[in-house]
Amino acid sequence: MLLSSKKHEASRNVSAVSRKLRSIASGVILATFAAGAFAQSYPDKLVRLVVPFPPGGPTDTAARIIAQKMTDGLKQQVIVENRPGASGTIGADVVAKSAPDGYTLMMLATPTLLFPHLSGRKSADVFKDFTPVGVAYELPLVMVVNPQKMPDVTGLQQYVAKAKSQPGVLNYTSAGNGSFGHLSTELLKNLGKFDVQHIPYKGSAPAIQDLLGGQVSMMFSDMIAALPHIKAGTLRPIAVGSASRVSFTPDVKTVAEQGFPGFDASSWGGLVVPAATPKDIVARLSKEMQAVLSDKEVQAKMLAAGTIASYQTPEQMSTRMRGDFDRWGKVIRDNGIKAD
């Protein structure tokens, strides 16, 4: 009797384990099916693209061009929502806390990527809280001088020679402490061993205005802010920061071509989603973005706005994020730079 009882109890235990395993398996199958069905039905409502900067800037301009065309591919409206503040970290915090369902995207730009190096403020972790969808655009930097203030400076080496002849006398401006133009100029100063004084402004517009007015003599500016004045002849371009020349100013040599081999300072932006967004949805968004950025009309619109359409895969974007974070972090530490 005892043996029979033990056999019966063992049989019941086996049955219980078997039922539990079947239940787990069913749950996994249902979850997989649900995720697949969700991905197949995506998107079935409006998609929000958060730009963590004010309207009218380079990130906002590029995002609006891309959103308009992605609306066609996704067959759902993609609206741009501006959430500016703290170098983009206010908007980043909002997106990081959003549902990871593919209906909230963000245009991550260089200032937000580098903000942790510049401030002790706690904010979303760009590496842990987001999944890259792909690089969207390049924003070339151009070094411009006021031709009235510097009539004899037509190239970078002439500027460097002039700066070295007057250590600490010349000045330059930027869109603010910790802005990409600021970082790029400080890197160039370190490499060229010359000294010019930084006068930061609150944004590109007022900085450009005082450069035009002659209060400052040089600026490493984003192309969107500088291009109208270059075309008007009121600012003179003497170098571009990217590794290769740009179509906006094809005759202007790169910094690397003018005695600083390997110099590469190009701001950029790319789409990200909250970290736990399903892989199928990330792949769909990335595919749509690639199609948008290969469209000739989109490319022309972005060029007219001073940005360059430039798709890179999620994996390439992830590598680029880490590389830029480390490289420019060193420049920030070496020069003791802090955000405003």
157-207 pLDDT, tens digit each:
999 999 999 999 999 999 889 999 999 999 999 999 999 999 999 888 899
| Domains of the chain, residue spans | 47-139+268-335, 140-258
User: Is-contact 133 271, C-beta < 8 A?
Assistant: yes
Tokens of 244: 């290769």
Tokens 């930027």: give the residue: 174
47-139+268-335 matches 140-258 in fold: yes
Which CATH number describes the domain made up of 140-258? 3.40.190.10
CA distance 226 to 63: 20
223-263 pLDDT, tens digit each:
888 999 999 999 999 999 999 999 889 999 999 999 999 99
Q: According to the model, what pLDDT value does residue 46 have?
A: 97
269-318 pLDDT, tens digit each:
999 999 999 999 999 999 999 999 999 999 999 998 889 999 999 999 99
Domain 47-139+268-335, CATH homologous superfamily name and number: Bordetella uptake gene, domain 1 (3.40.190.150)
